[in-house]
Structure 1
Amino acid sequence: MSEHSQIIAELGYKRGNPRRTDVVNGIRGDGKPLTARVSISDEKRQQRERARRIEDMALAKELGISLNELCEGKSMKQPADSNFDSYQFAASVAAATFAQCWLEHDAVILDTETTGLDWGSEIVEISIIEARTGLILMNTLVRPINTIPAEATAIHGITNEMVADSPLFFDIAISVAQILNGRTVIAYNSAFDKKMLCSSAAYSSGEPPYVGSDFQCAMLAYAQFKGDWNHGHGDFKWHSLVNAAKQQGIELAGTAHRALYDCQLTRELILKMAAE
């Protein structure tokens, strides 16, 4: 029996009717050998149960609680710590402090638009601005090696025709590196933009243009600042950049999901957080 199945068997399927928890890899939930024939519908039901339990195990590990607590529904409750309000307030203050530091220490804000979301996708537009002043340091379309899929164009509006005469990422990589070198780089979902920089650089066998830079995430900072709790993940809820701006009453003329606009919107959000 696999480790997953063993733990599932030990759980005894506490969430459902015990009569619905007959089999896990040939062993009953109570540990006795299987002696009854299982119908096709029962097998399908048990497959669903096993898949759900494996997901539960991963969630329990992420939340740092026991599987029994998870089965009792405790993962879906806001932390019972009586000091949670204080923790929430402290997280908001920490986010505001981060924002103030970004403005005071010459940070830059970066945003990219891409051909997709996964590794192997390429940058089709990149913008970098100064966090404190809003000065535009770079704003350019980028011609990818591969064509831009229609589903990507549907999000950011950038077509293959628009980038036909634009530089390759290889052509701008040194300039990007010079701007980012030694600076704090802020992005809204920084893990994604950092991955896309590396993915695009891989097409030219170049070094990622952020060596020596400190990437920090405005999305995670705003999640702490807003303080909404995500019960399923046991952490502060992430918000899209557009929704975050709406929540803070920020209005900015321009087109969402274009790199420069998203940089400028991120800057406005940082200014809001820093002012608290």
Structure 2
Amino acid sequence: MKLPSTILAGLLALPPSFTAATAAPDADAPDETAEGEDGGEGEGLSADAERAREAYVRGTQLYQDADFEAALEAFQEAATYYASPDFQFNIARCYERLGNYEEAIRHYEIYLRTSEDSMDRAVVEASIEDLRERIAEREAAEQAEAERLAAEAERKPSKPLILSGAALLGVGAAVGLGGGIGFGVMVARDNAALGDVASGNPEGLSFAEAETLADQARANQTLELAMIGAGSALAITGAVLLAVGLKRKRDAEAGEQAPPASAQTWRLSPYAAPTANGLSAGLHFGGQF
């Protein structure tokens, strides 16, 4: 029966038969094996095989403690002292638990190549297939996130236009209304005083004082019109920027490519001209979107 690959996730290979696979020692090398067949655990092993066994035991405990980084290092250490397919299996297990699926697959495949008579070949192959599916899912998620970030980056150019447009619109409205009302009150007061002079001059103003009052009224009216014109210019500029920014945002959200800035030709031209009542100021807007 083929076991699900998820069963493999909690298993480690059993300790290899060190004595059966230990390479024959060099005849000229000093004898590092212990004498006697009735000794304790580790008796009769070469020094490297004993180190591999110790690293395996340590790695197994670390793995059970869910310290997969340290367990990986222990199994890799064991593999440097003793060539056993079982160590490759355990190294693959650690990589899998650490989320490094590519390395897990590589070591599973080494295990299969070097352990041709393995009884769990079908399970390991199923685990490799499962890991490949996980890699594909991860890459698809990363691609979707990259596309989301790209779409968000395309929408960002509209944000400064929207913010600056809204700010200019607010400032323009404040300047136009505040200045217009403030200087308009002053103009109305001066005109009322001039009307009193023409109606009998109850304040007893001299001719020079009346001329000064008239000049003051004309100056205040000029300032009133200038403030209204400047406020209107700022407000119109803000409204245009806000409209362009919102349009670009809608185009980006709809998946449409907004036209480049060079293709959007428009201009704002301030103007000022004398009139019978003083100075007329404003903003001329024109262009093509």
Fold match by TM threshold 0.5: no
Q: Which has the higher strand share?
A: 1
Which structure: larger Rg?
2
Q: Which has the higher helix share?
A: 2
Larger relative contact order (CA 8 Å, sep ≥ 6): 1
